[in-house]
Amino acid sequence: MRVFLSLLICLGVLMTEPQAAPLQKATFAGGCFWCMQPPYDKLAGVVSTTVGYTGGNVPNPTYEQVSSGMTGHLEAIQVVYDPSQTSYRELLRVFWMSIDPTDNGGQFADQGSQYQPAIFVHDEQQRLEAEASKKELAASGRFKKPIVTAVLPAKEFYPAEAYHQKYYQKNSPHYNAYKAGSGRAGFIEKSWPEAHR
């Protein structure tokens, strides 16, 4: 009997726990990174979010360096998600509903290269899905201007300073005032009224 059980184990016949799908990573730049964290934090299937800097060539940049616009980095968010609970397509949907995809000079009150919107893709499948969703948005006629958000290969991501992480929770009065005052909140409500009914 013991030999028979050993044989079954060797053959892989015994039932084993199904392997969980490995977590995946997505990276988006949408202007001020404070405003990109809340939509992803409340999305089912998102395991973690980190705001930071990517796209440039300066290692371990500081907020002050990136704010100068001289590092090539963009303010961005990196999302770790469980693909068995949410999809990259859903992450893209949240991204489009959080930005002005027609402005590649910055976002709302924040203008400059460090605030440009972009989708940083980690593999060919993400690139294909990002390009397809961009075309779908352009074809929808939702925006009168062209969709100019870039789709770029992912580069090294550097987490921002601790005080920037979950800023909307740490300083909600200032965050809410900023989001409204920058023009982001009004633009999103006007562009996606069905999401605010």
- Which are the catalytic amino acids? 32
Give the phi and the psi of residue 49 in degrees, each rounded to 5.
-135, 145
Q: For 165-187, what is the HEC assignment?
A: CCHHHHCHHHHHHHHHHCCHHHH
User: How far apart are the C-alpha atoms of 186 and 108, rounded to whole Å?
Assistant: 10
Checking DSSP bridges between strand 117-121 and strand 150-153, what pairing results, if any?
parallel
Which residues are 13's β-sheet partners?
Answer: none
Please work out, in degrees rounded to the nearest 5, the angle formed at the alpha carbon of residue 24 by the alpha carbons of 23 and 29: 140
Contact in structure between 144 and 103 (CB atoms under 8 Å): no
Closest to 106 in 3D by CA, of 97, 116, 98, 119: 116
Question: How far, in Å, CA of 174 to CA of 168, rounded?
Answer: 8
Ramachandran assignment for 183, one of left (phi > 0), alpha (psi -120 to 50 degrees), beta (any other):
left
Q: Tokens 């100019």 identify what position?
A: 148
